[in-house]
Structure 1
């Protein structure tokens, strides 16, 4: 009886898919100086892939992410400090390239929007609930004299 090799192949494929981001930084991109490569990797962790938008450039296989990785390494090789590399990228691509943008400038509005909307919603809910509790409960309107007479007539006929 022949055994098919589908299970080992499937497991190998799953392993490659899980380890995919590990292969994002290609060997030809790496710097020969381990200290500079470590700096490049640390900077790359905070830079957004402009294609994937929620991955850092080290985890992305997109061509633009590769270009950004190479650009970071070029700037480091040119002697730029970490701050200068980030400033260069922000000047070129805007603050969107940062995974964690600062809270200065107009960004304070984005940072404050969540808490402000929560406070507004809580205030609106409190005013609504308070207004409902103060509203007069609808009272039971009694039967008119005509309705009471008709009710008695109906009950007398049945009983």
Structure 2
């Protein structure tokens, strides 16, 4: 029996999720266990993350090309204004986007994700690896939602 495309297309799918313990971040969790809830990202999101890294690299090269000939200081200043002041390795930049997109609770913005990467690189790496692991496993068939209470039939 081959792949059942019709069944595949008609099956509701949901991203896989997992809880990632982050004991090093306990100071910022108040009551309860220090845990990040993460999800696998979609193919589109993975593509967006890769494109963001490529765009940033292209923009840095463009700034160097336009301004770099006149003054290295001006080029560095322009890159800093555009948020490209420090050389961030491509894999780190990609992981920042992946962690931002795959974090469910807490829902991290880019600034918080960069600070997590900078200040807690081990926890950042563990979270990112789990998101990539879930992404690699693909979505899972969704659980059937309860249809609610069926109203009783009226007597005729």
Q: Specify if TM > 0.5.
A: no
With the length of structure 2 as denominator, give the TM-score of the two structures.
Answer: 0.28
With the length of structure 1 as denominator, give the TM-score of the two structures.
Answer: 0.28
Greater fraction strand:
2
Greater fraction helix:
1
Name the larger-Rg structure.
1
